[in-house]
Amino acid sequence: MKNYAVIGDPIQHSMSPVMHNDLFQFYGLDAEMKKVHIKTEMLEVGLQSLRDMNIDGFNVTVPYKQAIIPYLDELDPLSEAIGAVNTVVCENGKWMGYNTDGEGYLKGLLEQLPDLKQRRTLIVGSGGAARGIYFTLAHYGVQQIDICNRTLVKAVALKEACPFPVKTNIMEVALAEKMLGEYELIIQTTSIGMSPKIGASPIKMTNLKREAFVSDIIYNPLETKILSEAKARGAKTQNGIDMFVYQGALAFERWQGFFPDTDRMRYSVLTQLGG
């Protein structure tokens, strides 16, 4: 049997095992994925335990998408450029890191916004997921992508690290809230609002314009506070299911060698979440 895992802190919210184990069964694969909770101060010990059990591959979630890199043997060019990894392939004792977050997010977003390149965009947050999305959207050709974050130095570092040409302004959350009406697309990339702390929100939607599209990469709960507030103001919204499904499908392809049925993946996750 092949063994897979998803690691993070917290990890109880993750639906990756539900999605992948359903696919393993559907395709008749002798494989299983489990959640592995690794506390922040125990990352090195936790990863060594995965090596000891000869893990075949694993997903990486909050807060390890950047912290995992020193423990990997190789990175593919995209994950190296982004500086974050969410998928690890383990073969012949070597761990290879990939980033399927950005590509997965882009696939899901283009289904909703074919005019994506022309949309003035605001990214909320500057962590590992934000890097994947920011770099991928810049590479795709989105003309302006501003970033707001509680810690400005992190947002500045993200802007400076991007290898692709894009117009970007950096601002504090308070200023972004005042300017919110200028954006056609708002992308929430932090873990704020994720289960179990569903009452939290990283940015107020008070000045959101009705024509805007608000996307939150969180999928548990299906409607975060920020999406609920955006919907109440007439904006169109997208939760993290599309990104989650497509990044998972790309990870599955890395592990198994073929691209899986994404409709089945979406259905299994929504069924589990009661959506």
Contact 20, 256 (CB under 8 A): no
| Run of H or E including 139 | helix 128-140
Burial of 61 (0-12, 13-18, 19+ CB in 10 A): buried
Annotated binding-site residue? 108: no
Phi-psi region of 205 (alpha: psi -120 to 50; beta: other; left: phi over 0): alpha
Annotated binding-site residue? 205: no
65 as an active site residue: the answer is yes
Annotated binding-site residue? 224: no
Which residue shows structure tokens 């501003």?
146
Catalytic residue among 2, 39, 65, 107: 65
Annotated binding-site residue? 126: yes
Annotated binding-site residue? 131: no
- Give which of 46, 85, 50 is closest to 66, Cα–Cα: 85
Annotated binding-site residue? 14: yes
Annotated binding-site residue? 168: no
Annotated binding-site residue? 215: no
- Give which of 226, 249, 248 is closest to 238, Cα–Cα: 226
Annotated binding-site residue numbers for shikimate = 14-16, 61, 86, 101, 219, 247
> Which active-site residues does the annotation give?
65
Annotated binding-site residue numbers = 14-16, 61, 86, 101, 125-129, 149-154, 217, 219, 240, 247
Annotated binding-site residue numbers for NADP(+) = 125-129, 149-154, 217, 240
